[in-house]
Amino acid sequence: MRFGRAAGPKRSIGRSRAPRGWRNRILAIGAAAFALPVAAGIAAPTTALASPATPVHRAGLEELMVPSSMGPIKVQVQWAARGGNAGLYLLDGLRAREDRNAWSFETNATEQFANDNISLIMPVGGQSSFYADWYAPSNTNGQKFTYKWETFLTQELPAFLEGHGVSRTNNAVAGLSMGGSAALSLAAYHRDQFKSAAAYSGYLNISAPGMREAMRIAMLDAGRFNADSMAAPWSPQWLRMDPFVFAPQLRGLPMYISAASGLPGPHDHPNSAIGAFNTSTAMGLEALSLVNTRAFQARLRSLGVDAYFDFPSVGTHSWKYWEGQLFASRKMFLDSTNGW
C-alpha cells in the first residue's frame, strides 16, 4: 500500500516471523500509516500518441497519454531493447503519484531491463485504488470519476500498446504493497494476458481480522479515499480482491512472492527524528505483510499450488528492498515471456 523504497542489494534469506506479541501493535501501525511517502522528482516530457495501425519499433523511455474511461492516463514505457512483444507491468503502492510511477525513480528498474527484450509498462496514478474497478467515485475527497483500473490495465491499455508492438497475451505483472495483491489479482482473473506474477511485501490475506479496517484507515490517510466506493461493506468484491480467496485460480502460474522480517537492514539509516519514525513505521508495515504472506504461503501449500517464496531475515517496507526483489525475480519474467 505504499503498501510503497530500492542496485540489487545483498539479501539474506530466512524464515523469520513477526513475534506473536507484535501482532496487535503491527496492525495499529499498519492502520495508522499503510504507506511511506516517496521522494519528490521532476516529471519527464509527456508524449500524446494515438495507437498506430502498424506496430513500430520504439526505443528508450517514453511517457504516453493513453485514453481511458477515467480520462487520459499517463503511462511510462521503456521499450523492449530489440523490438520484442513482451511486457512487464510494474504496479505502484498506495501513495501512487500523478507525475511518475515510483518504479521509474525510486529503483533502478529501467537499468535492470535496459538490455532485455521486454517493455516495462509503468502506469502513473491510482492512489489508494488497489488497481480495481470501483463502484462509484470516492465521496470523501470529491473525486470526479470512478476508478476503473482493472478495465484500464486489462482492456484499454493492452489495446493501445498492441499498436506499438506489445502483445496483449505475452506479459508479466509485479507490484509492491498495494500493487502486490493487485498483481496477483490481475494475473488470476486474466490468465490470457499475464504469464507470471510477483508480489513484494503484499497484503495477501485481506479477509483476516482487522485487515479491512486497516485498509479503510490507510486509504483515508492516502488521499482521503472512501473504501466503501471501492467495495461496499460485505460486498463480494472484497472476496474477489483477496489473494487468499482466489488462490486456486493461480495454479500453474509462475509466481515470486516475498516479504521481509521488518528488522532494519542495510538500506535503513535514519538520521533524524522523522527518519526514525519512518523507519519504525516501515518496520511495522513489513511485519504485517510478513504475517499476511506466511498465511498465503500456507494457503497455497494446502491447495498444492506452487510458488517461489523469499523471506529475507532483514528488510523494511521500503523501495531499496523492492528493487532487490525485482532483480531476484527478473529471470522468471524473462523466462515466462521469452523476453531475453
Cα 49 to Cα 151: distance, rounded to the nearest angstrom: 20
Which residue has cell 519474467? Answer: 333
Q: Which member of 229, 317, 318, 323 is catalytic?
A: 317
Taking alpha carbons only, the member of 198, 183, 182 closest to residue 258 is 198
Q: Which member of 286, 289, 323, 336 is catalytic?
A: 286
Cα 288 to Cα 17: distance, rounded to the nearest angstrom: 10
Phi and psi of 66, rounded to 5°? -110, 125
- Can 177 be counted among the known catalytic residues? yes
Cα 11 to Cα 265: distance, rounded to the nearest angstrom: 9
Cα 42 to Cα 226: distance, rounded to the nearest angstrom: 29
Inter-axis angle of helices 23-32 and 273-303, to 10 degrees?
110
Cα 173 to Cα 175: distance, rounded to the nearest angstrom: 7
- Can 106 be counted among the known catalytic residues? no
User: 142: left (phi > 0), else alpha (psi -120 to 50), else beta?
Assistant: left
- Can 267 be counted among the known catalytic residues? no
Q: For residue 315, how far is the Cα from the chain centroid?
A: 17
Q: Which member of 68, 128, 138, 177 is catalytic?
A: 177
CB burial of 274-298 (b: ≥16 within 10 Å; e: otherwise) equals eeeebbbbbbbbbbbbbbbbbebbe
Annotated catalytic residues are 177, 286, 317
